[in-house]
Each structure stands twice: as structure tokens, then as C-alpha cells.
């Protein structure tokens, strides 16, 4: 009931977001380019024209500010798809005049580790021209959400046009003429794209990373965030339906094993993503994921050591099973929400879809809990009346006749 609804809802809004927010244009107010491409984070995009005869690239980057005193940067890493080593052009408001300025920077390892401030220096690549402008022309002002265009013309190395590593980012503050560190959520840490400027295709490796990230999020949201809580609900309420007999146990076990199996796949993908993340560590999300997975495995192993109902250790096993099970469900749901934040989907329709699904499950659980207490109280009252002789074993009121 809940799983198909969630899958449809999640898929619909996932593709809605992808197609609505990832767009690009080849035209600006001053120039028209041959190709364009939406970039995978920060709602950024690029447009370019490549001239094979002299191996020059005319390119414009479309980005946006996240602070009136912030910065937006775009550049090329001539060696590898990472921030360290990037030759960047960074735009920000001049601390003296407030006007938009564009300066060159080289991102070296000391800057990434925050051992030294980022200082402007000439680039050691063939940058032929550069400029920047705010969307809206001369009357535009820098504010949160202001759109900027960074133009550059540069000469590429003739045998390195198939894998050009573009890097971009934005921050909230500039100290003097030194941009400070950018935010560190997954959108900001994955702002890298490797593109063949001749064909306009993106690197397969980068696409695979983004696909793995999406698959990881969807699988774990379904398994740890929906199926396992649903399995806990079936165990708590179906076991009291006498007509089902032992069927409730097999339903519960089947649902939980399905969730654990799917969750194990999602966990394995998460481990692989960690290996591909180039030193990026999402500590809280990772630790919650490990704890949830360990509890899930303990629950699965507990099935093989389940004592018989007549065994004196059965009550201890039940306490352990309930404690570990509910702990796994709570940690799983919490980590799903943490995952949304890590992926930069904290205010997305995808998260809204999950919240609606989870709210529906919680609503059904509350209704079943109220109903179970009503049934329990009714049976307790009938048992008391039966002990006092007010009703017979058939449930009918008994009384004495006077003649």
C-alpha cells in the first residue's frame, strides 16, 4: 500500500525536479554560443563555442550568489576533476566600492586545508580574455539569488579537449579580497564536471557517480525509511488478529527481510560512494548509517536464535528483539532525513513525498493503536464482569429469576 505510493511519488517529483531546475541557454545579452549544458549542482550551467582551428574556447558560466557579501567562482582544473589545482575566476563585490570585480585565483592544497587565505594571482593557463556581469545589467545589485555570468576565452591544449575538468562554487563571505570557504553540503562538494567540449558530452564516470548517489538515496529511503517501519507495524498489530494464527509472523519476517535485503544494497552503494567522494566525509550520516545497518543485521540474526514459547529465555529474547528493532527503525528514519540534508534536498519535493508517505504510515499506526486499546479495554471489562458472574461464558448477561 505505502511502497507503490512512495515509489510513484518519489519518481514523479525526482524527474520533475531534474527537468525543471536543470536547464541551459546558448544566448546572453551580448553573445550567442553553439552549445550549452546544465551543471549537476547549484542550478548552474555553461554555454560555449569551441574553435578547433586554433583550439580556443569561448565560454560563459551562469551561477548565482547566496549572500550579498558572497562570491561566485568558475574555473578549469588542467590535471584532475577536483578543486585542488583549479585555475579559477572569482567574482564578488569590491570591499571598497561595492562594484562587481572578477579576479584570478589558483586553488592550491594549503587553501583547501584552510592553512592560508586564498590570494589572487595570475593564472598559468592561456586565458585570453575574461569578464563578468550581473543579470539585469548595470542597475543590478548583488544579493542572495542574484544571477551572474562569468565569461572567459582561453586556449586549450590540442590533445586535451575531450576531458576538460570544470569546477565551480560559491560562498557567503569575502575577507578583503580573499574568498572564504564555501558551504560543505553535497551540492557544494560535487560541483565538478568533466566535459568533451567538441562533442558536448559529459564524462561517464561523473554521470555514474550522480546515478549512484540517486540510487543510494532512493533505495535507502524505501528500505530503512518505509519497509522496515511497515514491518514493525505488521508485527505489533497483526499478531493480535486471532484468525491469522501464525501467518502474522511470516508476513512480518517477509517484510523485514525484504527491507534488510534492499537496505544492504543501499548500504553497499553508500560505501562505494564514500570511496568515490575524494576525501569528503559526511560523519553524522555515515555513523548513523553504520549503526542502523548493524542493528538491522542483529535483528536478522536474531531470527535464527528465536527460542520456543516454552523456553525460559523467551521473554529476554522478546525484550532484546523489541529494543533492537525499534532502535533500528528510529535510526533508519532519522538517517533518511539526514540523507536529504546531505544531498541538498532538505527543502525538495522528494523530501515532501517521503514526509507524506511517512505521515500516512504514522496515521495508520495511531488508528490501529487506538483500536487495539479499545479492544483491550473491552476485553478487560468483559473478563472482570465474567469473574463477578455478571455475564456467562457466552458473553450474555446472567441474572436470577424471582418467582
Report residue 48 as a C-alpha cell.
560555449
Tell me if 112 sits within 8 A of 83, measured CB to CB.
yes
Which long-range CB contacts under 8 A does 126-129 form with residues at least 24 apart?
A: 126/154, 126/155, 126/156, 127/87, 127/152, 127/153, 127/154, 128/56, 128/153, 128/154, 128/155, 129/153
Query: What would the mean pLDDT of 222-228 be, rounded to a whole number?
Result: 93
327-364: per-residue pLDDT in tens?
A: 999 999 999 999 888 777 777 788 888 999 999 999 99
Q: CA 131, 135, 140, 143 torsion: positive or negative? A: negative
Query: What would the mean pLDDT of 54-71 be, rounded to a whole number?
Result: 92
Q: CA 211, 217, 220, 223 torsion: positive or negative? A: negative
Measured between alpha carbons, how far is 235 from 223 in angstroms, rounded to an integer?
A: 17
Most confident region among 3-17, 362-376, 381-395 by mean pLDDT: 362-376
295: nearest Cα among 315, 337, 267 = 267
285-314: per-residue pLDDT in tens?
A: 889 999 999 999 998 888 888 888 788 888
pLDDT of 68 above 60: yes
Model confidence at 2, in pLDDT bands (50, 70, 90)? very low
Q: Given this model, what pLDDT does residue 315 score?
A: 86
118: nearest Cα among 187, 74, 79, 174 = 174
Q: Which helix (H) or strand (E) holds 305?
A: none
74-122: per-residue pLDDT in tens?
A: 999 988 888 888 999 999 999 888 889 999 999 887 766 566 788 888 9
Scanning the structure block, which residue is given the C-alpha cell 497483526? 238
Scanning the structure block, which residue is given the C-alpha cell 528465536? 306
Measured between alpha carbons, how far is 168 from 59 in angstroms, rounded to an integer?
A: 13
pLDDT of 401 above 80: no
Q: Given this model, what pLDDT does residue 398 score?
A: 54
Torsion angle, alpha carbons of 294, 285, 326, 308, to 10: -10
Amino acid at each position: 500500500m505505502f511502497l507503490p505510493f512512495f515509489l510513484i511519488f518519489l519518481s514523479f517529483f525526482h524527474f520533475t525536479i531534474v527537468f525543471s531546475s536543470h536547464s541551459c541557454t546558448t544566448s546572453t545579452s551580448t553573445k550567442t554560443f553553439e552549445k550549452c549544458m546544465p551543471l549537476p549542482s547549484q542550478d548552474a550551467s555553461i554555454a560555449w563555442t569551441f574553435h578547433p582551428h586554433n583550439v580556443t574556447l569561448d565560454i560563459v558560466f551562469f551561477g548565482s550568489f547566496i549572500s550579498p557579501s558572497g562570491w561566485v567562482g568558475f574555473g578549469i582544473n588542467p590535471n584532475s576533476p577536483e578543486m585542488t589545482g583549479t585555475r579559477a575566476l572569482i567574482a564578488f563585490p569590491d570591499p571598497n566600492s561595492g562594484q562587481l570585480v572578477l579576479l584570478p585565483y589558483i586553488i592550491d592544497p594549503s587553501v583547501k586545508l584552510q592553512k592560508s587565505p586564498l590570494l589572487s594571482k595570475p593564472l598559468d593557463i592561456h586565458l585570453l580574455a575574461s569578464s563578468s556581469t550581473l543579470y539585469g545589467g548595470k542597475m543590478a545589485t548583488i544579493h542572495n539569488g542574484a544571477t551572474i555570468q562569468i565569461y572567459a576565452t582561453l586556449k586549450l591544449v590540442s590533445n586535451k579537449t575531450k576531458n576538460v575538468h570544470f569546477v565551480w562554487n560559491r560562498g557567503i563571505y569575502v575577507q578583503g579580497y580573499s574568498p572564504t570557504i564555501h558551504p560543505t553540503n553535497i551540492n557544494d562538494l560535487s560541483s565538478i564536471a568533466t566535459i568533451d567540449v567538441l562533442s558536448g558530452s559529459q564524462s561517464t564516470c561523473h554521470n555514474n557517480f550522480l546515478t549512484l548517489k540517486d540510487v543510494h538515496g532512493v533505495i535507502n529511503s524505501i528500505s530503512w525509511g518505509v519497509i522496515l517501519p511497515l514491518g514493525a507495524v505488521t508485527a505489533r498489530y497483526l499478531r493480535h488478529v486471532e484468525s491469522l494464527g501464525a501467518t502474522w509472523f511470516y508476513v512480518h519476517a517477509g517484510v523485514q527481510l525484504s527491507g534488510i535485503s534492499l537496505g544492504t544494497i543501499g548500504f553497499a552503494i553508500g560505501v562505494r560512494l564514500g570511496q568515490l567522494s575524494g576525501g569528503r566525509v559526511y560523519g553524522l550520516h555515515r555513523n548513523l548509517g553504520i549503526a542502523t545497518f548493524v542493528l538491522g543485521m542483529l535483528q536478522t540474526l536474531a531470527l535464527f536464535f528465536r527460542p520456543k514459547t516454552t523456553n525460559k529465555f523467551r521473554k529476554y529474547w522478546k525484550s532484546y528483539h523489541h529494543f533492537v528493532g525499534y532502535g533500528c527503525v528510529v535510526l533508519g528514519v532519522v538517517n533518511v532525513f539526514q540523507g536529504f540534508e546531505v544531498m541538498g534536498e532538505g527543502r525538495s519535493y522528494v523530501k515532501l513525498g517521503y514526509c507524506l508517505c511517512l505521515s500516512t504510515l504514522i496515521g495508520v499506526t495511531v488508528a490501529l493503536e487506538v483500536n487495539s486499546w479499545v479492544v483491550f479495554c473491552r476485553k478487560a471489562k468483559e473478563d472482570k464482569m465474567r469473574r463477578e458472574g455478571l455475564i456467562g461464558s457466552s458473553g450474555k448477561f446472567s441474572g436470577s429469576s424471582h418467582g
